[in-house]
Amino acid sequence: MDYQTIIVEEKNAVGYLTFNRPKQLNSFNETMHQEVSSVMKAWAKDSAVRTVVISAEGRGFCAGQDLNDRVVDPNADAPDLGLSIEKYYNPLIKLITEMPKPVICAVNGVAAGAGANIALACDIVIAARSASFIQAFCRLGLVPDSGGTWFLPRLVGRAQAMGLAMLGDKIPAERAVQLGMIWQAVEDDALKSEAEKMAEHLAKQPTYGLSLIKKAINAAAHNNLDDQLILERDLQRLAGRSSDYKEGVQAFMQKRTPEYKGC
Amino acid sequence: MQNIKISFPKAGVALIELNRPEKRNALNNATLQEIVNCLQSLDADAAVKAVIVTGNPTCFAAGADLNELAQLDVVSIQQDRRPQLWKCIDEFSKPLIMAVNGYALGAGFELALHGDMVLTGDNAQFALPEIGLGMLPGAGGTQRLARLVGQQLTMRWAMTGEMIPAQTAVQHGISSQICPAQLTVQYGLELAEKIARQAPLAIRVIKQSLKSIHEVTLSQGLKLERQHFVWLAATQDRQEGISAFLEKRKPEFRGV
């Protein structure tokens, strides 16, 4: 399959999706939305892909919406910005959060607007030391979309979320780690290899179990403790039926390394 | 029986599985008839205390059989035996639990609404899509649903055919529990087993009392409940229940 705006590669059970519009700082246009979405949908169903890595070409990670794709004539009728969110950004965030396998984001450079929030929607985010995050929306009179207002307070707490969203400051990778916004910052030239190492490790783990962990942690954001305890019981029941659990227990008893199949 | 499977996975519990996966468990006359025959024989079988109806992991039942419906003109539709079949399902006297995974559309949704209790898998989707075919729900959809969730939502759902996800179904009382789809039947069985251990005569009048709420006024309903209450006083199981409680042991109900 040929793509105009992304690079897609599958290697050692890892799916690598790389944004590839470096001149536009990998900002999203319609084609890119369609291509990303079709790849993510295919991977969600493909049991041969057991971890997904999202990263980008060039000096930026993603600048969010390509403004050239939007009419900004001040005399024209007010645009319906909700339209592209409903059609593209919201489904993309759901594809990431509902992907039944780990999604790693390797942030190589500036992640701004929707680009920042797409990164924050991923399960584990690692960033190059020179990368940065900007909730740029407030500068244009807009609201952080693509899950921004949902992820931020959960990741960094209300006080920091308000500051980030209302001031729109540029947050360097190191600070993002301190705030608890992302998992790790690494040297620029180590980003690719670190992401790959983590992905290849996760791709050998009990994928089904990991997908249940993801489900549980995502559900914790809106459950009370009682509901969450019930959910944990339910998910543990499902996990207990998996062949990876059986393999894990057997390998432990036989004192060998388990070989997980992901189911 | 070609269209359904029946089994007895736990003591006192019968499981009916709709089994026309290639037709997404569409409820044609033959299938409905099989369900009715099955329920009637289970009703007569004293060993059966509760019944679960389910489809498969991705589909409960996707509606009526459109080929059959298309053949009915205004005359033949008046002689249709389906209303009679639905009535027979409604008249089943024992607890009827619906374990709904995946699609429960049109007649499938209406079948679920015939259940005394509904458990939904997290992948369940309910809808009344008849409007898209220029029809309306014909097996109690407008009536039972409106009594459950009210006129506003029923109007909306019946007039648009919108999908109702599991979470919404639980919120509005269409279902009492949401389960991971792979566990819906297991949890249905556990629920049925819990009920199967109770005093059968008491279960029977609970069902009768509750089913009357849409038929009679509150004062008539209270009178009916009182009659059932008095009637139960004549049963041995009631004595057993109270004695066991006072003696701090488990009751052994015998249905007498």
Q: Can you tell me the mean pLDDT for B73-85?
A: 90
Q: Are residues A113 and A60 in the same domain?
A: yes
Q: Do B180 and A241 touch (CB under 8 A)?
A: no
Helices A207-220, A225-240: axis angle to 10 degrees equals 170
Q: Are the Cβ atoms of B183 and A238 closer than 8 angstroms?
A: yes
Find chain B residues with C-beta within 8 A of A241's C-beta.
182
What's the CA gap between B216 and B224, in Å, rounded? 9
Query: Is there a domain that residue B252 lies in?
Result: no
Residues B126 and B172 in one domain: yes
B170 and B226 share one domain: no
A163 lies in which domain range?
Answer: 6-204
Q: Does A241 touch chain B (CB under 8 A)?
A: yes
Same domain, A189 and A248: no
Is residue A144 classed as helix, strand or coil in its secondary structure?
coil
Q: Tokens 């919120």, residue?
A: B171
Examine the domain organization and report whether A151 and A223 are in the same domain: no
- Identify whether residues B239 and B125 lie together within a single domain: no
B105 in helix, strand or coil? strand
CB-count exposure of residue B102 (10 Å: 0-12, 13-18, 19+):
buried
pLDDT score at A72: 66
Residues B192 and B239 occupy one common structural domain:
no
- Residues for chain B: how many in total? 256
Contact list, A237 vs chain B (CB under 8 Å): 180, 183, 186
The reply to whether B209 falls in a domain is: yes
| B69 contact A CB<8A | no
**B 180-209 residues with CB below 8 A of A?**
180, 182-183, 186
Nearest Cα of chain A lies from the Cα of B19 at a distance, in angstroms, of: 24
Residue B38 and residue B92 in contact, taking contact as beta carbons nearer than 8 Å:
no
Q: Is A234 an interface residue toward B (CB < 8 Å)? A: yes
In chain B, the residue whose alpha carbon lies closest to the alpha carbon of A215 is B180
Q: pLDDT tens for residues B6-50?
A: 999 999 999 999 999 999 999 999 999 999 999 999 999 999 999
In a domain, A56, yes or no: yes
Q: Is residue A148 part of a domain?
A: yes
pLDDT tens, position by position, for chain A (263 residues)?
Answer: 789 999 999 999 999 999 999 999 999 999 999 999 999 999 999 999 999 999 999 999 999 998 877 766 778 888 888 999 999 999 999 999 999 999 999 999 999 999 999 999 999 999 999 999 999 999 999 999 999 999 999 999 999 999 999 999 999 999 999 999 999 999 999 999 999 999 999 999 999 999 999 999 999 999 999 999 999 999 999 999 999 999 999 999 999 999 999 99
Question: Which chain A positions have a beta carbon within 8 Å of B190's beta carbon?
Answer: none
Q: What is the CATH number of the domain that holds A36?
A: 3.90.226.10
One domain, residues A59 and A82: yes
> Residue B255 domain-assigned?
no
User: Does residue A222 sit within a domain?
Assistant: yes
Q: Is residue B65 part of a domain?
A: yes
d(CA B149, CA B54): 22
DSSP string, A184-246: EEE-GGGHHHHHHHHHHHHTTS-HHHHHHHHHHHHHHTT--HHHHHHHHHHHHHHHHTSHHHH
Q: How far is A22 from chain B (nearest CA, A)?
A: 39
Q: Which two tokens stand for residue B115?
A: 């259940």
**Residue B76 pLDDT level (bands cut at 50, 70, 90):** confident
Kindly report the pTM of this predicted structure: 0.88
**How many whole angstroms from its chain centre is CA B88?**
12
Which of B123, B183, B184 best tests the A interface by mutation, with the highest count of A CBs <10 A?
B183
Contact between residue B116 and residue B99 where contact means Cβ atoms under 8 Å apart: no
Residue A111 in domain = yes
- Interface contact B167, partner A, CB < 8 A: no
Residue contact A238–B179, C-beta within 8 A = no
CATH number at residue A229: 1.10.12
Helix (H) or strand (E) run with residue B208 in it: helix B200-211
Helix B82-90 to helix B29-44 angle, to the nearest 10 degrees?
30
Nearest CA in chain B to A227: B178
Closest B-chain CA to A242: B182
* One domain, residues B140 and B188: yes
- For residue B253, being part of any structural domain is answered with no
Q: How far is CA B219 from CA A106, B214, B224, in A?
A: 68, 13, 9
Q: Which of A71-85, B78-92, B181-195, B198-212 has the lowest mean pLDDT?
A: A71-85
Whether A175 maps to a domain, the answer reads yes
Q: Structural domain of residue B83, as residue ranges?
A: 4-196
The CATH number of whichever domain residue B173 belongs to comes to: 3.90.226.10
pLDDT value for A17? 98
Please state, in angstroms and rounded to a whole number, the distance separating the CA atoms of residues A208 and A261: 9
Let me know whether B122 and B64 are in one domain.
yes
pLDDT of residue B70: 85
Amino acid at B92: F
Distance from the B79 Cα atom to the nearest Cα atom in chain A, whole angstroms: 47
Q: Is A262 domain-assigned? A: no
